[in-house]
Amino acid sequence: MKTDITMIGHISRDIMIYLDEEIRITGGPVIYSSAAAARSGRSVQVITCAAREDDGALGGMRENGVQVIRLDSPETTSIENIYFSADKEKRKVTLLSQAAPFTVESLPDTDSRIYHLAGLFRGEIPDEFIPLLAERGKVGVDAQGLLRCSEEGRLLFRDWVPKKELLPLVHYLKTDAAEAEILTGETDREKGAAILASWGAGEVMVTHNTEVIVFAEGKIERAPFTPSNLSGRTGRGDTTFAAYLAWRLDHPPAEALRYAAALCSIKMETPGPFTGTVEDVLARMEKDNS
């Protein structure tokens, strides 16, 4: 039976150091993304790579009905995040350990409508996955996994050299404002999204702390984030993109974007992955639209 979305990426043992507290959690794009998509009613499969002793950290995804395939690794990725501002926009990120990269040979045989490449760092998911998976279904890519590099533990962002070659194979591309600027040199988010689409990406999402935009079908759609607080800010981009993919399967871009922004607004009000329901999100959409 065909799965709606297969997500590929590492989990991360995260150390979050805020202005007034330290929290240790299991994070990573697939943790937040799978919750948003599964709780939106989609069948979700996650392929991840982690140490055997950390298999229990995958339990939350399994409780959401996600089929989890763990590829064995000597280590599990661990990241330290030090936040310097109350809005959690400024932070120092340090890679403490890293799981083994995925390989074409280790990729299980899958059948999905969408393949979501949810990487943490460049090299985690090889570029070869894009043409390979584009033959099986629509490919969605988070630019973080293309641009973020680890150099002696420090995380830096570098341009993605084969972008013009591979973007035509990417149906859904997600960036934040800074990533879009790295890829295009354009500081204007709308212009950056249009440039990425002109290079071949099918639909381009750009997140910002106030709103999310999508360039799709030749025009810009936008939706605001409306959280009452930012206690659950971590995982915003992952949640928004996955919610968009989940709703986009049978809704037009503008509605899928509004759904994603509403779901993520709810998520940002509570730490951890999204735990609500479709009904909660639809009610939030109605409230935000009133």
- Give pLDDT tens digits for 227-243: 999 989 889 999 999 99
Tallying the residues shown for the chain, one arrives at 290
User: In this predicted structure, which of 82-86, 93-97, 260-264 has the lowest mean pLDDT?
Assistant: 82-86
pLDDT in tens, 171-210: 999 999 999 999 999 999 999 999 999 999 999 999 999 9
Strand order of the sheet with strand 211-216? 67-72, 44-50, 3-8, 112-117, 138-142, 172-176, 203-207, 211-216, 219-224
Q: Report the helix count and the strand count for the chain, using DSSP H and E.
A: 10, 15
* CATH at residue 216: 3.40.1190.20
Tokens at 122, concatenated:
């460049």
How far, in Å, CA of 228 to CA of 239, rounded? 17
Position 16 scores a pLDDT of 86
Instruction: Note whether 22 and 131 are within 8 A (CB).
Output: no
Average pLDDT across the chain, whole number = 94
Number of domains in the chain: 1
pLDDT at 18: 85
- Note the pLDDT of residue 89: 67
pLDDT score recorded for residue 88: 66
Domain span at 41: 3-289
| Pairing status of strand 219-224 against strand 211-216 | antiparallel
> Which pLDDT score is estimated for 76?
96
> How would you classify the pairing of strands 12-17 and 44-50?
unpaired
In this predicted structure, the answer to whether residue 154 has a pLDDT above a threshold of 80 is no
pLDDT at 95: 87
Burial 33-56, CB ≥16 within 10 A → b, else e = bbbbbbbbebbbbbbbbbbeebee
Tokens of 248: 């986009």
